[in-house]
């Protein structure tokens, strides 16, 4: 997708934009079909659910289709506001091309009244939305012709507000008041939270502390060092000798997570590497049983928040004001250097740092341990959370 954006995106968007300008389609009086496009980020998809909720309320009879990557399918299946899922399989070039052709065929042959493009300035998503020839094509504004010629309604992007509120603003052209933010929530099936693969037999009331030492492939520089995670777990093991520490991640991240485990001084049966062993539903079930998640800025951070799990979240290149977890007890640690945050949607979140991610290195083990200790208290107050974060 990024290669297409870089090498083919501009001419494709010029062509689709010119076609739209020449053969404009008027918006109908009724909305029967809505296509929502969001490819990147489990967390971003979750944070878009308040906007999807308002779409469903405003257009209860409309068919809402969600276009995303197949890697997000498990999460999208858990969102009740979506009627149909269209998936692009990006695992290999061949699977990408095959599924892309199928999606293009559907876009051309299916009547779609509204396209809501929640990607930030992607030429690929702009082109796909345009070839559906919707009456309304809503997306984020850029002062470029390739973007403005394809959209009917452009929404300004403001980095000084949370991204969930930004997503809510995209439904305003449909006559929807997006000022009401209902926090993302995931309901866990109690039966699914029983026995989990890779987890030793334990009491349902056993204290579980989860750790996510990973970050999405779009920016691995959001990772706090493996050494720091190992030292943090060592200290918390001494505080909580009966706790079970579950390290999570994808199949591709399992070797990295195992490297973190090997750095620990105290490697016991109370340390479990679950990377690559859990489905998304099983991860949600694990979070529903856990006491705490210590995590980099990542998709599981937002899943934990939607489940209601307390988090210690580590931010550096990105800001918690823009992408922080919502609706749970969370202490967001952010070094806030003069150059932070430096990841932004205008440069496709490309990380170029002359000081080697000092913003992440400036977060100390002591800060993370202290924050974890605060959240592990039973009676922690909001005032205490604010003090710990500062």
| Domain limits, the chain | 2-174, 194-389
Q: Is 193 left (phi over 0), alpha (psi -120 to 50) or beta?
A: alpha
Q: How far is CA 301 from CA 80, 206, 251, 318, in A?
A: 21, 21, 18, 14
The per-residue pLDDT for 194 is 59
User: Taking residues 254-265, what's their average pLDDT?
Assistant: 96
Lowest mean pLDDT: which of 31-40, 93-102, 113-122, 184-193?
184-193
Count other Cβ atoms within 10 Å, centred on residue 255.
12
Planar angle of CA 166, 167, 172, nearest 5 degrees: 90
User: Taking residues 299-328, what's their average pLDDT?
Assistant: 94
- Residue 171, burial from CB neighbour count under 10 angstroms (0-12, 13-18, 19+): buried
In terms of average pLDDT, the best of 144-153, 182-191, 348-357 is 144-153
The per-residue pLDDT for 174 is 95
User: Are 2-174 and 194-389 the same fold in CATH?
Assistant: yes
Architecture of the domain spanning 194-389: 3-Layer(aba) Sandwich (3.40)
The per-residue pLDDT for 6 is 86
Per the CATH hierarchy, to which homologous superfamily does domain 2-174 belong? Answer: Glycogen Phosphorylase B; (3.40.50.2000)
The per-residue pLDDT for 202 is 57
């Amino acid at each position: 997708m990024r290669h297409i954006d870089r090498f083919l995106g501009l001419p494709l968007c010029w062509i689709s934009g010119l076609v739209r300008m020449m053969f404009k389609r008027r918006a109908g009086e009724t909305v029967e079909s809505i296509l929502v496009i969001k490819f990147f980020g489990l967390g971003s998809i979750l944070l878009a659910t308040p906007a999807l909720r308002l779409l469903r309320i405003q257009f209860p009879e409309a068919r809402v289709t969600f276009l995303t990557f197949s890697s997000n399918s498990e999460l999208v299946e858990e969102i009740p506001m979506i009627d149909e899922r269209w998936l692009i399989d990006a695992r290999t070039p061949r699977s990408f091309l095959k599924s892309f052709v199928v999606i293009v065929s559907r876009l051309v042959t299916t009547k779609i009244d509204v396209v809501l493009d929640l990607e930030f300035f992607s030429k690929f998503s702009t082109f796909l939305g345009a070839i559906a020839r919707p009456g309304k094509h809503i997306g984020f504004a850029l002062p470029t012709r390739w973007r403005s010629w394809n959209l009917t309604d452009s929404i300004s992007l403001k980095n000084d507000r949370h991204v969930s509120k930004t997503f809510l603003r995209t439904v305003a052209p449909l006559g929807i008041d997006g000022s009401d933010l209902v926090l993302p929530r995931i309901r866990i099936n109690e039966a699914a939270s029983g026995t989990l693969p890779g987890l030793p037999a334990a009491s349902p009331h056993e204290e579980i502390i989860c750790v996510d030492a990973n970050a999405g492939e779009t920016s691995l520089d959001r990772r706090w060092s493996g050494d720091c995670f190992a030292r943090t777990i060592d200290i918390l093991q001494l505080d909580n000798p009966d706790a079970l520490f579950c390290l999570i991640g994808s199949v591709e991240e399992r070797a990295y997570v195992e490297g973190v485990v090997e750095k620990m001084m105290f490697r016991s049966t109370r340390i479990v590497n679950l990377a690559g062993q859990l489905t998304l539903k099983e991860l949600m079930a694990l979070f529903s049983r856990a006491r705490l998640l210590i995590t980099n800025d990542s998709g599981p951070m937002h899943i934990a928040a939607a489940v209601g799990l307390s988090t210690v979240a580590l931010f550096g290149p990105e800001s918690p004001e823009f992408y922080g977890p919502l609706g749970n007890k969370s202490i967001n640690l952010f070094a806030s250097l003069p150059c932070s945050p430096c990841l932004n949607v205008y440069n496709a979140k490309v990380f170029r740092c002359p000081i080697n991610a000092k913003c992440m290195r400036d977060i100390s083990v002591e800060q993370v341990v202290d924050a974890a200790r605060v959240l592990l208290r039973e009676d922690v107050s909001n005032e205490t959370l604010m003090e710990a974060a500062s």
